Amino acid sequence: MEFFLPISYLNDFVFCPYSIYLHQVFDNSNEDVYSAKPQQRGKTAHDRVDHDKRKQSKKVIAAAYVVSQQLGIYGKIDQYFVEERKLVERKYSLSTIYRGYYYQIWAQYIALEEMGFEVDQLFFHSIRDNRRIEVDKPDTKAIRELKNHIRKIARFDFESEINVNPQKCSHCIYAALCDKTNQDHVYA
Ligand code: SF4
């Protein structure tokens, strides 16, 4: 049976593979139990896109599901500007564009094109300081890297040893629930 990975896993796995396992474990519980301020802010940013969806025009497609058969992924895009063929991924605050963020927007771009929507430009939008940053579309090398990353997630043994990075744990929403660390996150 074919299975598809959520696009959000592409960044979560870079941050810490074990966070995907914990996400699955706590998926059915109330998110307020574990979500911290940055995630709540991020969720608010995405909820705002969902809300705007109701008043979206033909010019903007917001909070829409996309899927790529080629990559085996699915997820939501934030905004696609139809006339300008621009894809925009919103983050609450963007001081660094992590590799996982690139994987997410590349996957969204490939899924959109596969679904028949041409994309000319990719942007991240930092909500806090209202900044928009253009990034390159993925070339052949980047697409190969993305596919390898997806393959690595799909084959990952979540029972294997993981490298615990205390710095990351201190910024992880699952820290209080994680059996790999005794520390809580800094947002508590
Ligand atoms: S608390 Fe640390 S080890 Fe546990 S999921 Fe988060 S980053 Fe990974």
**What average pLDDT score do residues 166-185 get?**
85
Q: Which pTM was predicted?
A: 0.84
* Any ligand 1 atom below 6 A from CB of 22: yes
Give the separation between CA 166 and CA 184, rounded to whole angstroms: 10
More confident call, 21 vs 56: 21
**What average pLDDT score do residues 120-126 get?**
97
**What average pLDDT score do residues 18-41 get?**
67
pLDDT value at residue 37: 55
pLDDT value at residue 39: 56
More confident call, 22 vs 87: 87
Name the class of domain 5-16+31-163: alpha beta
* Whether the predicted pLDDT of 3 surpasses 90: no
Q: Whose CA is nearest to atom 1 of ligand 1?
A: 175
Cα-to-centroid distance, 89 and ligand 1 (Å): 25
Give the separation between CA 126 and CA 90, rounded to whole angstroms: 6
Cα-to-centroid distance, 65 and ligand 1 (Å): 28
Decide if 43 contacts 35 (C-beta within 8 A). Answer: yes
Which of 108, 112, 113 has the alpha carbon at shortest distance from 124? Answer: 108
Cα-to-centroid distance, 176 and ligand 1 (Å): 9
Domain edges within the chain: 5-16+31-163
Cα-to-centroid distance, 1 and ligand 1 (Å): 30
The rounded mean pLDDT for the chain is 87
pLDDT value at residue 141: 98
* Whether the predicted pLDDT of 182 surpasses 90: no
Instruction: Give me the long-range contacts of 73-76 (CB less than 8 A, separation at least 24).
Output: 73/4, 73/5, 73/6, 73/7, 73/10, 73/107, 73/111, 73/150, 74/4, 74/5, 74/6, 74/7, 74/111, 75/6, 75/7, 75/8, 75/104, 75/107, 75/108, 75/111, 76/7, 76/46
